[in-house]
Structure 1
Amino acid sequence: MSPVVLKGVTLRGLEVFETLARTGSVAATAADLGMSAPAVSQQMKNLSTALGVDLVDASRRPMVVTPAGRLFLVKAKEALRALRAGQRDLKALDLSDMESLSLGVIEDFENEVTPLLATRLAEAMSQCAFVLQTGASHVLQARIAARELDMVICAAGDVAPRGTIALPLLDDPYILAVPKGVSVSRGLASLSDLPFLRRDLDQVMGQQIEAYLERAGQTPPRRFEMDSNQSISALVAAGTGWTITTALSLARAGRFASGIEAHPLPGEAMARQIVLYATSDWAGGIPDQISDLARELIGLHFTDPGLEQMPWLGSQFRVL
């Protein structure tokens, strides 16, 4: 017997549900997908009718996925992932004419995105001399400005490296990370008895966090300053201190994650943007192809699982 395809279950409907589950807002979903708000509502109504269950609780703000919706969301994401993979395969990377490429990628992606990105690029560049380096964003920016690298994937600074074009990949919001069980009911004032774990001030993150603290009128004592994400995560999990980090960085906490609680950043929302910088002589199809692949891998390994763990981030944590 052939499988039954439910009337009313459409690809667009699945995309709308996936996005609404992430954003919690019809207006934000409409903006993300380039639709009108009534069209989003109609797609959700059609999908719920076809399945015979309510997928979201529209009485809450932001909207939340119902228990039945959570079960279906897993299947919807699997279906969309398979369809997107098929589309990607049909539009395979066409880099066969390249003779050389040097690419830098931030350390944040070293375990998940970079190995897969390198594998795909190597497969597509059979005759190409390929150089791949990892490092901190400020180091990679300096290297592409000096024309030592052709392209870099890193956090954007206040000013793009000279002679480059920028392709945005990810909005990565800053969040508060505290030891499990520590209250933040009074915002940053709740943490006055714990040391602040600073990022290295040479890093883009360190500079942006310091600017936020200055605007918030906060001047935590300079006791700890580190350039290692894992060391900071370990100290937070051990109850030694608290920090300001990003959703992407927290997703890399690994075995320390169970001892860390994440909360929205008090006051103004703030995010860093991850971009692909390419030297101006590379403008055109190749940077676009590489950035499309990077977006796909970032979504699969970071934004999708990250939003399942921190749904309150909504559209702040998103592939661009």
Structure 2
Amino acid sequence: MPLPRTPLQALEAFEKVALSGSMRQAALEMKLSISSVSHHVARLEEQLGTALLDRSSRPLVLTREGREVLHHLSQGLGHLRRATSATAIGGLLGARALRIGIIEDFEARVTPGLATALAGQMPNAKLSIRSILSHDVPGLLNQDELDVAIASEPESRAESLICDPLLRDPFVLVMQKNAGFDPVALLDGSDALPFLRFNREHLIGMQVEAHLARNRITLPDRYAFDSVQSILAIVADGNGWSIITPLGFARAQRFAERVALHPLPLPVFARRISLMSRSDSDRPVAHAIAALLRSIVAQSEVGPIIAAYPWLAGVFATLDPSD
């Protein structure tokens, strides 16, 4: 069967709409009119002979065929973007050394993809990639132990640090799959199921506690953990519930079949994952690495999660440099 002659922009338009759930948002990101984006998506549907979007809901959600197309399309576009960014990095880095710190949330798919791309473009350079904790980033950068760090932005950022935004990672409720529950009862403490929190020493734990406090919610302090894997192991057995992020969920895929994500019945809040560097850093290199990371994250993290949980479209999303 011959491939349809579809412009690359039409493929990108569909991907943007699928990930954001909005024609308007896709148009803003692509700097096109809403009618142009709509035309691109309609043309792709016509060429494939099937509806890719359910236009009766807001935000827009994918049909079964749309989810299948998004899965394969994001992989193809991701490879194109990655190749473009990697080539740019190769031209910028020359033979210099590069020390990168990256949070463990990315260790399954993003870090290997980044390492492979950089190693291929830096055959004569010294490359170091290490796991870090978000709250250690300011010290590691200011003490010149790292050139760039990929982590969650602190609530208050030192003026000496510059952030290139990568990902909006919202907080969501996680429960055992198919378990009946009342989210309001969980948050007011009237449900006996215990809350599993992150340790407050970690930035993600601080962020969750701060948002609960803003909404005047106090939950019993019985369980606290360093890792999302420990939390999801208990949730999967039906012995607790928690507030995590889609990125954390993606990292612990061994539990994916036994737990489920749900919207949190609170004002939306999210952590922001960025590439951080010192103000005196090599800005073109930082921008090029950030562009490469956005393509890897969109393909390996955002696309699969939104295919499984369409209600996260536009909330769990890669960020542009201007965001």
- Which residue identity is paired with 1:63? L
Structure number with higher relative contact order (C-alpha < 8 Å, ≥ 6 residues apart): 2
What is the distance in 1 between the residues matched to 2:136 and 2:149? Answer: 10
- Superposition pairs of residues 1-320 of structure 1, within 5 angstroms: 4-6=2-4, 9-88=6-85, 90-91=87-88, 93-187=90-184, 188-189=187-188, 192-320=191-319
What is the distance in 2 between the residues matched to 1:239 and 1:125? Answer: 47
What is the distance in 2 between the residues matched to 1:186 and 1:100? Answer: 49
User: What's the offset of the Cα at 1:114?
Assistant: 1.7
SS state at 1:120 partner: helix
- Which residue identity is paired with 1:316? V
User: What's the offset of the Cα at 1:264?
Assistant: 1.0
- Which residue identity is paired with 1:292? A
User: What's the offset of the Cα at 1:95?
Assistant: 4.7
Q: Structure 2: any 5+ residue segments left out of the alignment? A: none
Q: 1:263 to 1:191 in 2, by over 3 A?
A: farther
Answer yes or no: is the 8 Å Cα contact 1:184–1:191 preserved in 2. no
What is the distance in 2 between the residues matched to 1:96 and 1:23? Answer: 33
Q: 1:164 to 1:36 in 2, by over 3 A?
A: same
Q: Which stretch shows the higher mean deviation, 192-201 or 155-164?
A: 155-164
User: What's the offset of the Cα at 1:225?
Assistant: 1.1
Percent identity between the two aligned chains = 36
What is the distance in 2 between the residues matched to 1:95 and 1:197? Answer: 45
What is the distance in 2 between the residues matched to 1:272 and 1:153? Answer: 13
Answer yes or no: is the 8 Å Cα contact 1:95–1:125 preserved in 2. no
Q: 1:174 to 1:233 in 2, by over 3 A?
A: same
- Which residue identity is paired with 1:59? S
User: What's the offset of the Cα at 1:235?
Assistant: 1.1
SS state at 2:313 partner: helix
Q: Which stretch shows the higher mean deviation, 308-317 or 77-86?
A: 77-86
User: What's the offset of the Cα at 1:116?
Assistant: 2.8
Answer yes or no: is the 8 Å Cα contact 1:18–1:77 preserved in 2. yes
Q: 1:171 to 1:53 in 2, by over 3 A?
A: same
User: What's the offset of the Cα at 1:78?
Assistant: 4.3
User: What's the offset of the Cα at 1:172?
Assistant: 0.7
- Which residue identity is paired with 2:104? E
What is the distance in 2 between the residues matched to 1:126 and 1:14? Answer: 33
User: What's the offset of the Cα at 1:88?
Assistant: 4.1
What is the distance in 1 between the residues matched to 2:190 and 2:34? Answer: 41
Q: 1:295 to 1:123 in 2, by over 3 A?
A: same
Number of corresponding residues: 317
Answer yes or no: is the 8 Å Cα contact 1:142–1:161 preserved in 2. no
What per-residue deviation string (whole Å, max 9, x for no partner) do you get for residues 110-151 of structure 1?
Answer: 222223322332333334333332121002332113332221
SS state at 2:280 partner: helix
What is the distance in 1 between the residues matched to 2:45 and 2:188? Answer: 44
Q: 1:190 to 1:62 in 2, by over 3 A?
A: farther
Q: 1:257 to 1:25 in 2, by over 3 A?
A: same
Q: Which stretch shows the higher mean deviation, 42-51 or 308-317?
A: 42-51
- Which residue identity is paired with 1:43? H
What is the distance in 1 between the residues matched to 2:249 and 2:289? Answer: 25
- Which residue identity is paired with 1:282? S
Answer yes or no: is the 8 Å Cα contact 1:100–1:129 preserved in 2. yes
Q: Structure 1: any 5+ residue segments left out of the alignment? A: none
